[in-house]
Structure 1
């Protein structure tokens, strides 16, 4: 490191972090599954969204592990944003974590929830991991180094976005937050072969692995909902932009996202 250069701005090898991130996400997934079939201890947060024991267990595990892995990089989690968010919003590099993305799906016990961890550098997610505890699957990617899928503890296998099929695209839509009228209007000029519904960050995974082609999100989300998915999709050859096609950026003071669209190759 050159004199006067802060640790935060030192070069980072995002791809080299992926094995550790997989392990952290999978450990959090085990903690979540330990609660899944029992008493969730559900209560409402200040914004009326649900919070469970599993959210809190996974949050503590992930935040502690990331702080040990990279002590100089701040961590913003959905559950710690009020304390960690203000400092990280001004940082060039920080972690974004959703310890249990899809809490409503977790409470319904439909399996469509994930653990999301992403590294943001200069407003862009450069590495991300999405773990699906019930399926035992872990998607991981570093932009410029490719994306992989690991199943059941096996070796990671490469995944890639596909070109849009000539007979129409497969569109992913939200299970719990869809605005079907707005989506119909957005897709009015598109050739659509099928719409598929999924919860949490699973929609990003389906585009990244080449079984879906388009994921428009017209309503609000938070940065921890999308950063890992964007990293995995872009590592797999896709892209995520604002609805007008401009770059999608992170580190906003309130960590709230506008609408966006995810596209395959």
Structure 2
């Protein structure tokens, strides 16, 4: 196996995400795309497929020995996947529903998983021409047309009583999310679209916590996990168990929570019980 450096692989992922994102934005601006329903009733568009083709081709050309697991490709069996020591994990468009609804809250996600752990995370937000990226033990960064800088989660003035900023889905009940949190705190809600952009908001200190209740796949959290953890936060299943990658037949995630300032007693705040 070629001895790629982590920086080389990060640069590749960044380049592929931006290239795919620019094409997706062209399609978004033109409005010339087709939308379909997948077997699980989730939406997919011709733009998802175009982004997937671009990313897959770029990664295969540069790293033909590294397998690719994408939401929009046929998924290998667990028996085959268990042979992978590392692989690319892709969500060509995170927030397809937002793309269709024209809210602008969608992103391109690319992660590199090694030994079942995300070690590279790249999230590109096409409408804002903004790139979030991280690699293991190297910090998290944001590059926009204005500047590039390292990002960190927000440190609350008083971790025990400060107002907590919650990133919530535009399409999820605010009351449903607040019902999962202790009423002994004061909350400010920030509506946003895709899962990965909410995680990026936490990574750069614009929000403090995000709880996802509902079906997602491992490709929805791989890039986010690397970025949020390099920015000083954490992402865990909503019962505070670690998320897993490539260890189960199903690629579905459990409900999960993304947390900023680690001095905050999150396990006291998140009062999660799995819905029946």
- Fold-level match, TM-score > 0.5? yes
Alpha-carbon distance in structure 2 between the residues aligned to 1:84 and 1:138: 32
Aligned residue number for residue 62 of structure 1? 55
Asked if 1:229 corresponds to 2:224, the answer is: yes
Deviations 1:64-107 (A, max 9, x none): 11112222211011100435876335523111100011111111
Q: Which moved more, 1:133-142 or 1:167-176?
A: 167-176
Alignment of 1:88-99 (within 5 A): 88=81, 90-99=83-92
Aligned residue number for residue 4 of structure 1? none
C-alpha distance 61-213 of structure 1, shift in aligned 2 (>3 A): same
Aligned residue number for residue 72 of structure 1? 65
Alpha-carbon distance in structure 2 between the residues aligned to 1:202 and 1:57: 21
**Matched residues, number:** 255
Superposition RMSD on alpha carbons, in Å? 2.1
2:106 to 101, 110, 113: 113
C-alpha distance 253-194 of structure 1, shift in aligned 2 (>3 A): same
- 1:253 Cα deviation after fit: 1.9
- 1:189 Cα deviation after fit: 4.3
2:43 to 31, 46, 50: 50
Aligned residue number for residue 132 of structure 1? 125
Aligned residue number for residue 17 of structure 1? 9
Q: Is the 8 A contact 1:89 1:253 kept in 2?
A: no
- 1:15 Cα deviation after fit: 3.9
Q: Is the 8 A contact 2:77 2:249 kept in 1?
A: no
- 1:47 Cα deviation after fit: 1.9
- 1:31 Cα deviation after fit: 1.0
Q: Is the 8 A contact 1:182 1:218 kept in 2?
A: no
Aligned-partner SS, 1:61: helix
Alpha-carbon distance in structure 1 between the residues aligned to 2:126 and 2:199: 16
Q: Which moved more, 1:221-230 or 1:239-248?
A: 239-248
1:213 to 183, 208, 212: 208
C-alpha distance 12-88 of structure 1, shift in aligned 2 (>3 A): farther
Q: Is the 8 A contact 2:12 2:59 kept in 1?
A: no
Aligned residue number for residue 258 of structure 1? 254
C-alpha distance 40-193 of structure 1, shift in aligned 2 (>3 A): same
- TM-score normalised by structure 1 residue count: 0.89
Unpaired segments ≥5 residues, structure 2: 262-276
Q: Is the 8 A contact 2:203 2:233 kept in 1?
A: yes
Deviations 1:95-127 (A, max 9, x none): 110001111111111110000000111221111
Aligned residue number for residue 153 of structure 2? 161
Aligned residue number for residue 21 of structure 2? 29
Aligned-partner SS, 1:87: helix
Deviations 1:166-209 (A, max 9, x none): 32111111223x25454223212452331111111110110110
C-alpha distance 144-168 of structure 1, shift in aligned 2 (>3 A): same
Q: Which moved more, 1:90-99 or 1:71-80?
A: 90-99
